[in-house]
Structure 1
Amino acid sequence: MGKARLEHSASAHGGVRVILKPLPRRPVQVRDELLPSWIRRLAQANHCSVEDFCGYLGLGQSRVPERMKDLRQVNWARFCSAVQQTRDEIEAMTLPDTTHLPIQCVSSDDFQICESCRDQTPGVILRHWRFAWSLTCENCGRPLVARHPSDGLSDRLRLRAARGAAVLKTAVDANDLKRMRRISRTLAVLKILGLEYPASFASRCQLQRSEALAAIDVCTTRPLLGAAILLCGNDKAFWELRRAFPLHRRVIARVLTLSEDIERRLPRLQKAEPAPKKETKAAYRPVASEGALQAARQAISELGPDADRQALLVRADTIWKSQSCVSH
């Protein structure tokens, strides 16, 4: 509808409260739909721009509200009468306020979607798509698709990411600030180690997000081992951790000891000696310890730190050899 067709009538109580007639076209709300998604679909169905539509509804702004705090200036009588929804129903369509938490776990953009639900209702956005702990669509059960999906995720990494996501969701639902601070420290360790992880768990890159969620699982179920794996072979990070967490130096020293033990047990972590010239073609040229370290980390990521030690050694050695062959 055009702007002229947005009719309204005044209430009899002093003429102050403006009550609108119900909108002529009201698309059915999808379960758990985000408020901006529904407002945009309402505006489109009634042939009105989103900016004009927000003003007509009494939202007091041209930007479509997403969070409950964005609804402070809303004319509720006007808004509710137009869309035929109660205030509680409208507020339930907004994102929860998580600004008091030490980490960002609710995204401000559409970093993932459900392609099936989007195809069924073009333009729809569901609330739980914005949650960092959401991996599957709550409406249809299909896996959510990241903006930058990764095809090569191992089953072990997917499983650990799912466990980490469950830990994050439980902490948010329970408003468990102690556990959230522990998760925040996990992110801080990742940053100190110089790994390219996102500032939040709502990365558009599926691989980065999966690894970050998996880190929650490892560092929650076996925190010392998880930190030792991250610290393995990185002496500079040890001193940076001591500076960043001065109250936990004794724990960090224990982690360093465990890390050094892991480094000794995993294959070829030290720089290999140059191969003799008489070696046959079947022999492969040794590489720097960084390549072996990456192979060890990948093996742990695939099999998990609680896997059989011999299996970890064999898998890391296989990865290291394949990388060496590819480099040549």
Structure 2
Amino acid sequence: MVASRVRWAAAREVPGVKPRPLPKTVAPLPDELLSGWLSRLAAANYCNDAELLAHIEIDTRHGAALDFDVEAADAEKISIAARVDPDTVQSMTFRAMTKMEMMLTAQVPFQSCPECSRRGLSLRHWRRSWAFDCQFCGTLLVRSLAKPGDEKLPEKLIDRARCGAGLLEHAATSNRPNLLRRAMRAVTFGMSLKAVRGDPLFALQSPRPEVRLFCLAAIAAAQSRPLIKAAISSAGADDYVRIALLRAFEREPRLLAAVDHVAQQRARSTGPKTAESHS
């Protein structure tokens, strides 16, 4: 059976492609990332990734880029070498993504499953900003540079972040801009409370797990409580937090008005400790 597959692959004529099937092949797993599968393929043939790509005659500098853009000719070379269908090769890449999905997909690994990684696997959903638990084994994903002695985060925060991750996934995959705007506004709010600056999209892929989880939890919190009220209640509306919120929502005059309104109400009910309103 193997010999027949080799003859079938060798018989395929592709202009500019020299068929050279590998001695061994490995079957791709559901949701496996192309670069991860190529690493497993290389290991099965007792070589490293660069040597494998050189054998297939693909520029080794473009190895990681194949996950996002593999040309038809390169997909054909890989398919012949590994004795799989070219469509199977293409299915392991991030192709045909919506704009929202593209925005929320990391270009480089930022988290992984410790259990599956030990088995040499690399799955596509790990790159998604909303990915939280491994879909293959159910293990909580951890940051790529995590160390055994890293501080354990509160279970309550993890549970809320998991809920927020689900809401973010729904917003992205349903292709509803209003839901995504609401989610990203909550992320911006979370960043302001954590005194984190930068693009909210990158905060969702932050190497600091406490920042990423807090931002995901903020998405969940925004569903049940008005965002600004949640900010005032949880942070006590001190000057630093209030300035951060004003900066975060400087383009949202309606929300700024809500900040002032809630702050005024709290000032009347709790006394001088609450921040004064700034018109």
TM range (shorter): 0.7 to 0.9
Match of 2:3 in 1: none
Distance in 2, Cα, partners of 1:56 & 1:261? 70
Distance in 2, Cα, partners of 1:59 & 1:82? 12
Q: How much does 1:116 deviate?
A: 1.9
Q: Deviations over 1:103-156 (max 9, x none)?
A: 95222333222222223x1x321222222212211111122233445414142x
Aligned pair in 2 of structure 1 residues 226, 135: CA closer, same or farther (>3 Å)? same
Q: How does 1:219-230 map to 2 (within 5 A)?
A: 219-224=222-227, 225-229=229-233
Distance in 2, Cα, partners of 1:31 & 1:269? 59
Contact 1:34 1:127 in 2 (8 A): yes
Match of 1:195 in 2: 195
Instruction: Please tell me the residue identity of whatever aligns with 1:90.
Output: V
Aligned pair in 2 of structure 1 residues 26, 11: CA closer, same or farther (>3 Å)? closer
Q: How does 1:135-146 map to 2 (within 5 A)?
A: 135-146=132-143
Distance in 2, Cα, partners of 1:93 & 1:32? 7
2:100 alignment partner, SS class:
coil
User: Which has the higher Rg, Structure 1 or Structure 2?
Assistant: 1
Contact 1:52 1:62 in 2 (8 A): no
Q: How does 1:1-328 map to 2 (within 5 A)?
A: 16=15, 18=17, 20-66=19-65, 69-72=68-71, 74-95=73-94, 100-101=99-100, 104-119=103-118, 121=119, 123-146=120-143, 147-148=145-146, 149-155=150-156, 157-191=157-191, 195-196=195-196, 199-224=202-227, 225-229=229-233, 232-234=237-239, 235-237=242-244, 239-241=246-248, 244-245=250-251, 248-262=252-266, 270=273
Match of 2:6 in 1: none
Contact 1:150 1:207 in 2 (8 A): no
Distance in 2, Cα, partners of 1:105 & 1:204? 15
2:165 alignment partner, SS class:
helix
Q: Which runs of 5+ in 2 are unaligned?
A: 1-8
Q: How much does 1:164 deviate?
A: 0.8
Contact 1:59 1:74 in 2 (8 A): no
Instruction: Please tell me the residue identity of whatever aligns with 2:209.
Output: Q
Aligned pair in 2 of structure 1 residues 74, 238: CA closer, same or farther (>3 Å)? same
Distance in 2, Cα, partners of 1:170 & 1:249? 27
Contact 2:110 2:127 in 1 (8 A): yes
Contact 1:150 1:206 in 2 (8 A): no
Aligned pair in 2 of structure 1 residues 264, 55: CA closer, same or farther (>3 Å)? farther
Greater CA drift, 251-260 or 182-191 = 182-191
Contact 1:66 1:95 in 2 (8 A): no
Q: Which runs of 5+ in 1 are unaligned?
A: 1-8, 272-288, 290-328
Q: Deviations over 1:76-101 (max 9, x none)?
A: 33221211222222122123576833
* Identity %, equivalent residues: 26
Instruction: Please tell me the residue identity of whatever aligns with 1:236.
Output: I
Distance in 2, Cα, partners of 1:238 & 1:124? 41
* Structure with a larger share of its residues in helix: 2
Distance in 1, Cα, partners of 2:102 & 2:28? 31
> What is the TM-score normalised by the length of structure 2?
0.74
